[in-house]
Amino acid sequence: MVKTTIDMNADLGESFGHYTIGDDAAMLDVVTSANVACGFHGGDPDVMASTFRLAREKNVTVGAHPGYPDLWGFGRRLVPFTAAETERLVAYQVGAAQAMATYAGHRIAYVKTHGALGNLSEQDSDVATAVLNAVQGVDASLALVAGAFGVLGRLARERGMTVYAEIFADRAYTEDGLLVSRKQAGAVLHDVDYISERVIRMVRNGAIETISGKMLPAPMDTICVHGDSAESVAIARTVRARLEDAGIALKAFA
């Protein structure tokens, strides 16, 4: 069955202090869901509150976007925390996001892990279990955004959690349906036309396109466009416009 609606999300609220990362206001005019940094890899209380408030005004669904406490590496470096430590780190960030969203008059609907924590939670069952324990320990009603082929989504479904399957517009995929490491050339895509055409192919075929061009059938509920690069807004606008031209409307999953 051909999809007629899909969600589009972006990682936002990643500025902190005097440092501005991305154009959140412009992205919130395009996306239907926003994954808001919780203060560890990016974000701070002021940024979180303003991002949640602006998302509420623009009718954009919001989720918590926890990562490793790694401002220097933007949460993209592996940090050797134990599973128990990871569980508490995630619980801490989800709780902070809920508090700041409530303060801003909005409500957290889901959780999506960031960067190195996100990649590891898709591949390591102990880390995935820690993330799920944290989320359910804080609020069992929260949904999860996860990759179609990772362990995180599978374990979450086994627990009866609501899981929204995600595809990335601007990231390359391995033959196993996982993200190509950012250490490898071609892992991050930049050509707006290519990205848009690839997204249309994936959504129309209900399949993830690997780096070799192979199509892996997969569920998909939301498309991620990263919000931290110079071309992010242009990519998001173009992808949305091409989807709508193809008869696929943007609609928040939650």
Q: State the pLDDT at residue 251.
A: 95
DSSP label at residue 235: H
Q: Which helix (H) or strand (E) holds 63?
A: strand 61-65
Contact 60, 25 (CB under 8 A): no
Counting the structural domains of the chain, the total is 1
Cα torsion at 64, 65, 70, 73 (round to 10°)? -160
> Is the pLDDT assigned to residue 247 strictly greater than 70?
yes
- Residue 156 CA neighbour count, 13 Å, CB half: 32
Segment holding 152, helix H or strand E: helix 151-158
CATH of the domain at 197: 3.20.20.370
- Reported as type and span, the H/E element at residue 135 is helix 125-138
Neighbours of 105 (CB within 10 A): 11
Model confidence band, residue 1 (pLDDT cutoffs 50, 70, 90):
low
Domain that holds residue 242: 5-250
Q: What is the mean pLDDT of the chain?
A: 95
When pLDDT is averaged across residues 7-29 and rounded to a whole number, the result is 95
Percent of the chain clearing pLDDT 90 (strictly above): 90
Q: Average of pLDDT values for 109-130?
A: 97
Per-residue pLDDT reduced to its tens digit, 188-240? 898 999 999 999 999 999 999 999 999 999 999 999 998 777 788 999 999 99
User: Residues 60, 252: contact at Cβ < 8 Å?
Assistant: yes
pLDDT exceeds cutoff 90 at 16: yes
Predicted confidence (pLDDT) per residue in 73-90, tens digit: 999 999 999 999 999 999
The rounded Cα 112 to chain-centroid distance in angstroms is: 5
- At residue 40, the pLDDT reads 97
- C-beta atoms surrounding 18 within 10 Å: 5
193: tokens are: 């036309």
